[in-house]
Structure 1
Amino acid sequence: MYFHFRAATSEDIPVLSELIAASVRELQIEHTPEERELALATIFTIDTQLILDGTYSVALSEEGILAGCGGWSKRRTLYGGDRQIQAIAPELLDPSHDAAKIRAIFVHPAYSRQGLGSAILARSEKAAQDANFTGFEMGSTLAGVPLYTLKGYRKRGTITVPIGAEKTITIVRMAKSANPA
């Protein structure tokens, strides 16, 4: 299937929120329904800074339907959105020694298993490389770990993330060099 990509805009936020919710509710089966709903209210929310920075993209199907989204960041924040419980780290990264952050890749369930997540990841990595970053880092959901491992990312540890109501979920810190030796 063919997908058209473009930069996300603030006008996309309502439909992005719907896509993220559908993706989390149907594809993040490693978490209980309660955990998914709490995460949708905190970390699985829009990070408007990515949109403002111009580093977040949307993928549209041949019919013009929003099928996926994702991007990268030149800022320290590893994961999450505007409403996350933990502090956001908006400081700029230095491409000469920091890894770009691959961020917030979500695919609508109707378009899963069609290569879209891989395409979003590849576009995000290329854009970060074009900005002179030579490495990538991410905070992956448990559901994303198999894909990112297949694409050359290696686990660097786990992070326990509060999502409210005294509940947490696990995020896996993963990294990859843009030019593996």
Structure 2
Amino acid sequence: MSLTSRVATRDDVELLNGLVELAIAELLKGFLNDDQIRSSKAIMGLDTQLIDDGTYFVIESDGEPAGCGGWSRRATLYGGDHSATRDSALLDPAKDPAKVRAMYTHPGFTRRGVGRMILGLCERAAAAEGFTRLELMATLAGEPLYRSYGFAEVERVEDARGGAPVPIVRMRKDIVTS
């Protein structure tokens, strides 16, 4: 299996929303109960600001979508277009961490390097713009990947805006340049 990446466009939105929905529904099983998974759909999702900023990637395997994710130079830490807490203020690379955002893997492509590929793309792109740290909000399903990539826990919180409280983990890492 070979993976390729490309920058997402607005033409990808319908495809990406389907991938996001499937990933949330399937990959959070075993970590969250049904009410929490429904709640997750209300607090997570695709943020098209990342697409408009040119910082969102689609990962494909033989032309099939295997995953998506990106990074942001804006203040929003997590949430989709429907989230009321989005903040488009630009970050200062000298003092703020770039945000890794909206990472989702198609259930048929888990543990095949999709997430690591996205993280590498994000880290290199953020470093090229002068950022020295990354920050993200991890689901319990994503936490092991982020830890293995060098992210460390900052805090554990719950987000109940979607109904049932969903446990999530704020994580950070220093950008490694080679």
TM over 0.5: yes
RMSD of the TM alignment (CA)? 1.4
TM-score of the aligned structures, taking structure 2 as reference length: 0.94
Q: Please report how far the alpha carbon of residue 96 of structure 1 lies from its aligned counterpart in structure 2 after TM superposition.
A: 0.8
Unmatched tracts of structure 2, length 5 or more: none
1:77 and 2:76 matched = yes
> What's the TM-score once normalised by structure 1's chain length?
0.92
Query: d(CA) in 1 for partners of 2:54 and 2:21?
Result: 22
Q: Which residue of 2 aligns with 1:170?
A: 167
SS state of the match for residue 143, structure 1? coil
Alpha-carbon distance in 1 for matches of 2:115, 2:127? 18
SS at match of 2:165: strand
Quick one: distance in 1 between partners of 2:43 and 2:34? 15
Report how far residue 57 of structure 1 moved. 0.5
2:34 aligned residue: 33
The answer (yes or no) to whether the contact 1:77–1:88 under 8 Å persists in 2 is: yes
**Structure 1 residues not aligned, in runs of 5+:** none
- Aligned length, in residue pairs: 176
* 2-structure distance, mates of 1:73, 1:92: 9
Partner of 2:140: 142
The equivalent of 1:90 in structure 2 is 88
Report the Cα distance in structure 2 between the residues aligned to 1:98 and 1:119, rounded to whole angstroms: 23
Cα deviation 1:126-162 (Å, max 9, x = unaligned): 1111111010000011111111111111000022212
Provide the rounded CA distance (Å) in 2 between the counterparts of 1:121 and 1:69. Answer: 10
